Amino acid sequence: FEGIAWIGTNNGFAKFDGNNWQQFNYTSPQFTYLWVTSLKVDDSNNLWIGSNNFGILKFNGTTFSEYISSDHNFLTNRISSIEIDNTGKLWFGQLLNSNIRGGVSIYNGSSFSNIYLGTINNKINSIYISGNNKWLCTTEGLSKYDVNNSSIFFSVSKICFGLTGFI
C-alpha cells in the first residue's frame, strides 16, 4: 500500500496510485452502504475502515473482514477515528448511538477493550497518538490517556468543539 492515497467518502472509498483511480463500494447484509469516516493502514498493509453506522472493515487488498460491535465487544458501530499506537494496537474513537454510549475501543489483534470518557453524551471526534500518550478530542474537551499509568487527564473545555483531526 506504499505510495497509495486512500480517500473515504459517504459512498465507499477510493484508491489512487498516482495514475489511476479505483473505487470501492462494499455492501453486505450488515453494511447496506458504506459511509467512510476514517481510514488507517497498519504495519501488515491492511486498510482499516471506520464507518458512520455499520462498524469496522479490514481490507487486505483482496478481501474484506467485518467487525460489528455486537460480535466483537466494542462500544458502537459509529466509528469517528482510527489510530495505531507504537505497539500496533488499533484505537477506535466512537460516537454515541441511540442509547449506547460512545468512547474508545482498543483492538490488540484478537479482542477489544473499551474506555469511556466524560458523560454519557460525550463523543470522540479524533485521536492523536504521541509515544505513550493518546490525545482524545471529544465534544466535552481534550483528554490525554497515559497507557503506562492507565490514567486519564480530562479537561472539560470546548477546545475540541468542531475539531475533527490532529496533525
Full 3-state SS string of 98-154: CCECCEEEEECCCCEEEECCCCCCCCEEEEEEECCEEEEEECCEEEEEECCCCEEEE
Provide the pLDDT confidence category of residue 75 given band limits of 50, 70 and 90: confident
C-alpha cell, 104: 474508545
- Find the mean pLDDT for residues 55-71: 93
Full-prediction pTM beyond 0.85?
yes
SS3 52: coil
Residue found under cell 460512545: 102
* Beta carbons of 89 and 104 less than 8 angstroms apart: no
* Torsional sign, CA 154, 117, 33, 161: negative
Q: What is the pLDDT of residue 119?
A: 78
Provide the pLDDT confidence category of residue 155 given band limits of 50, 70 and 90: low
66 residue type, one letter: E
- Find the mean pLDDT for residues 14-34: 92
- Find the mean pLDDT for residues 55-70: 93
